[in-house]
Structure 1
Amino acid sequence: MAFQPIVDVETSTTFAYEALVRGPEGQGAMSVLGQVTEANRYGFDQACRVKAIETAMAAGIADTDARLSINFLPNAVYSPVACIQLTLRTAERYAFPPERLIFEFTENEQMASPDHLEAIIATYRDIGFAVAVDDFGAGHSGLDLFARFPTDLVKLDRELVRGIDTDRRRQAVARALVGLCADLDTVLIAEGIETLEEGRALRDLGIRYHQGFLYARPGFESLPEIAVAL
């Protein structure tokens, strides 16, 4: 696992660290994800949850106030209650509070059943986890997904962030999402931020939580420091 901070630009502190899959020598995610099949998807999903908590604890996340964000595969969850038990046992073993865990799913993933995803989200939130939808704006479902599934956080896709400082249309979309998320008590995170100009534009549009190479590249088995403050 590698970890990338999600930055609270109002306080210049780390709100959460996202756990990102890596190969054993730090190879990119695709070197691992390319080996996931229907047959091993469940085991892979379970192993990633355990590895994320174990590695984050070894890296010192318990000494911070940051949350831990873990990506999960909804299609690997055959039963929301049964499939979360290993995660809960792992968090308990390391004394990591469940309320500091965030589970992310991407709207790009083909959903076998919207009802099934709805049940997963409800179960996780009942336990005390937060749930985030990643890559919002990149998939085919868009606002339909946002309207149906009550997630706690929404991560604005990097394609909407790219060049937002000079693009009025992207600014208008982001501004509308800021208002929508405020109305729904949903945290909005902008990801894929690479330039100081993008970061400042997003901050001025009212987006408080940022993620991207501007602030820190993912740290392999480590929790990187924030490189810049706006």
Structure 2
Amino acid sequence: MVLQDYTPQHMLATLRTRLLVMYAQVDIALEEAARSYEKGEAVRAIAVCDGDTAIDALENEIDELCLRLMARIKPVAGDLRFVVAALRMVVDLERIGDEAVTVAEQTVLMEDVPGRRILADEVCGMMQRAREAFMRAMDCFREGNGEEALALRNCEDEALQNEMRIVQRLLELLRQEEGKRPDPQLVMHTLLVVRALTRIWRRSVNLAEQVYFMQHGQSLKHSGEKK
């Protein structure tokens, strides 16, 4: 991307646009990973894995753009906070994309294991909540609503609670008598999916917190205060 003829405001607008594109790409990956799991569609899951390179490329592009912005226009105040937040956001966005790939990979692997999906309704419910957290974080950035970050942050504990509830149910299933307990491979794949969903949820909170930082210049990362 050639930037030497761009004005500072044009460069900042370009950064915002590319971030929105990356948000959209990750959102598509999450949606497709969720559908592949819910419907057991290995072909759709493989497409999610293949599409991860586009997200990685956007991370590299945005990193480079941020570094050029820092070097050429030396942003201050709100503009500086925006560039710093962007550098942090792309890390979380890329890793959320990686977690979507994890869900997709486990979906493909489950196709090779005999037996029905276990706790499918519970996992799909958690998947929906994780996607909602990401969409709220995306809206937070698009609308510049830092206060929504506080509301989303208050829901963060729900992710761990959901994970622990499903893990407990899986352990109960494994303790059933011979002939009734599920295939241990299915349990393992389900655990990996649930763990990925927890990470998606938490990284979505991180994204929203960066919007709060952009607006208020205050980091919520290590703050225990929730409102």
Common fold by TM > 0.5: no
TM-score by length of 1: 0.29
Whose radius of gyration is greater, 1 or 2? 2
Q: TM-score, with normalisation over the residues of structure 2?
A: 0.29
